[in-house]
Amino acid sequence: ESSLLYTLTLVPSWWCYSTIRKLLDIDNRAISVGALLCSDRKSCRCLPVNWKAHFLFFDNTSRLKSPTSGWTVLTMELSPQDQEYCRDLTMQLLDRTIYDCEELGLGTTHIRSHADLHGARWKKLQSHPDVTLYADRSPNSAWLPGMNRGDWEQPVAVVTVGQLNCSLDDLLLALLTPTAATIRLRGVLMGRRPEKDLQLVPIVKSTEASPFQFLGVLRFVNTQHWPLTMFVDPREMVLTLATGEVATASGRRYGYEILLSVPVCQNNNNRSLARTQVLETQVFWEQLDGSVGIYSKLIVDIRSRLPESIKQGMLCRGVMRFWKFIPRCIETKKLHWCLKRKKVLARELQRQPQVMGGPASCGGCGVMTLKPVNGKPSKRDEIRCRLCDAWLCWKLSCRASCQVSAVVCEGKHICEKEIALCPRCIIF
């Protein structure tokens, strides 16, 4: 019939009808399913053995119809009322998060890798060497100031307590994302799919007095990895993003990052996508041993019939990606800073002695493999350090000590590649 949209979706044979319905989360009246089991490859060459072809019949308003067809993205604009709303909301959440942190006694003591949270209120979900993840057993634990209950249907919350072996300034440097390029870099380092139609409107920018301060509204379209793309539509994310540092009345210094879905720019698209509700508040403080303590709360509105434990497991995986992201982002941003100031740093590096050999020797292993011309190595087939231009022979023996993995920008794309740095610059 012309009023129906016919979609062929391939799923494993062990997925039953009820599983598909749960994943799609659709009304019974909107779907009828017929299953065709392939007995051999000859009868249906496009399907492997033991797979089923499920023919899903939806009407024109179903979830699987592409929402991006005919969809136009307009420039995001914020009114003065929107900007003031974002400021007030982030400050409310920051005050509440610091209060919760101090109420649990986390900001005043060295928490090491785990927090001793009372088992009557907290359920431990995962435990790792530097981080522990909990679920709050108390009723309405997922609700925080600024969450409109009309927009949130099934909020799932995970609380994280842990530490990172870095300074507070380095951590805030990694979190600072004042441009769309730095947001894309963060997505690459965290292993996420590239954000589509990304827009960022700054409200408060960094200054020399407050280098880590930033407040803005971020909009992008979030897509899933295959095969979830068959079941989950692209969803619009409109978030207020805030980073910075504050000092409490007791003089204690906290860094923070806040991400929160906000109801702004509702009419920017002629065909709006469904929006996902997300809230994440994180506070950081320096500890006596030089590490940084972290307390965070992540809340996501997961509108599906999956069990609570599976939803919590999905959030836990996202939290653990953050722990791997911070060290990589610190090194990436420091390396990027050095490469941008290469000419200034080269003069300073030239004053320092080479780790091995002289100017005609390899800066990595110290071996002279090419005959020098006028006191310098031959220009033919040479590889040089990206910072100080020291010559590198690039043998296997020195490549291991001089090869550095870095995330770089090539045109409009962000990719990971290997670059050459001599040991002197790596130490620097």
DSSP string, 386-421: TTT--EE---HHHHHHHEEEEEEEETTEEEEEEEE-
Assign 363 a pLDDT band (cuts: 50, 70, 90).
low
How far is residue 311's CA from residue 97's CA, in Å, rounded to a whole number? 23
Q: Is the model more confident about 347 or about 247?
A: 247
Task: Give the Cα separation of 166 and 174 in Å (integer).
Answer: 11
Q: Which two structure tokens, joined as six digits, stand for 202? A: 């700054």
Q: Give the residue, 69 or 57, on which the prediction is more confident.
A: 69
- Rounded Cα gap, residues 312 and 304, in angstroms: 13
Instruction: Give every CB contact of residue 327 below 8 A, 6+ residues apart in sequence.
Output: 164, 166
Distance CA 322, CA 281 (A): 13
Q: What is the mean pLDDT of the chain?
A: 72
Distance CA 58, CA 61 (A): 8
Least confident stretch, 34-48, 137-151, 180-194: 34-48
Do the strands 214-222 and 235-247 form a parallel or antiparallel pair, or are they unpaired? antiparallel
Q: How far apart are CA 317 and CA 297, in angstroms?
A: 14
Q: What does the longest C-alpha to C-alpha distance in the chain come to?
A: 84
List the single range of 4-18, 24-38, 70-84, 377-391 with lowest mean pLDDT. 24-38
Residue given tokens 């088992």 in the structure block:
119
The SS3 call for residue 198 is strand
Q: How far is CA 284 from CA 295, 332, 374, 401, in A?
A: 7, 21, 55, 34
Alpha-carbon distance of 267 to 284, in angstroms, equals: 36
Q: Is residue 381 predicted with pLDDT exceeding 50? A: no
pLDDT in tens, 256-310: 999 999 888 766 554 567 788 899 999 999 988 889 999 999 998 887 777 888 8
Residue 220 host element (H or E): strand 214-222
Q: Tokens 């007095």: give the residue.
A: 209
The token duo for 224 is 């899933």
Report in angstroms the alpha-carbon separations of 242 from 152, 245, 253: 21, 10, 17
Instruction: Render pLDDT for 315-345 as a digit per residue (tens, 0 to 9).
Output: 899 899 998 899 888 888 888 888 888 777 7
**Which among 50, 25, 26, 22 has a CA at the least distance from the CA of 38?**
50
Within 302-393, strands assigned E span 383-384, 391-392
* Top-confidence residue, 72 or 246: 246
**Structural Rg of the chain based on CA atoms:** 26
Q: Is the peptide bond before 129 cis (omega within 30 degrees of 0)?
A: no
Q: Tokens 């409107």 identify what position?
A: 201
